[in-house]
Amino acid sequence: MYDHTKHTKREENTLHFLRKKMGKRKSRAKPPPKKRMDKLDTVFSCPFCNHGTSVECRIDMKNLIGEAVCRICQESFSMTVNALSEPIDVYSEWIDECERVNTLDEDAAKDED
């Protein structure tokens, strides 16, 4: 007679083994929860090409230089920073600089009139 109990037991073992294997693979594919922290405000939208996430800000703490570079249009900006500066400080300084230049252009245009 067919031993149903034994067969089921073996199947259970196989399933258990597979589940264990799959579970392992799954946990390895999962991104570490740390990644959420890394995402913090180092990528910004570009004031030149208006691409939403093309500007990357970096801070060189060794030389105290902050740099913002657009990977789409290659526009870049650099400034001296201090130990407390953050990428967003470099970016907002770049935006300020752009606005200053725009204002100057407007003034120059007015003078020409």
Q: For the window 4-43, what string marks contact with Zn ion as x by the rule CB under 5 A?
A: ----------------------------------------
Laid out side by side, the sheet with 43-44 consists of: 43-44, 55-60, 65-70, 76-80
Is residue 95 part of the contact set for Zn ion (CB under 5 A)? no
Q: Of these, 42, 45, 48, 56, which contacts Zn ion (CB under 5 A)?
A: 48
Binding residue for Zn ion (CB under 5 A) from 65, 72, 79, 95?
72
- Min dist CB 50 to Zn ion, Å, is 7
Distance, CA of 60 to CA of 96 (rounded, Å): 21
Structure tokens at 106: 């407007």
Footprint on this chain of Zn ion (rule: CB under 5 A) = 46, 48-49, 70, 72-73
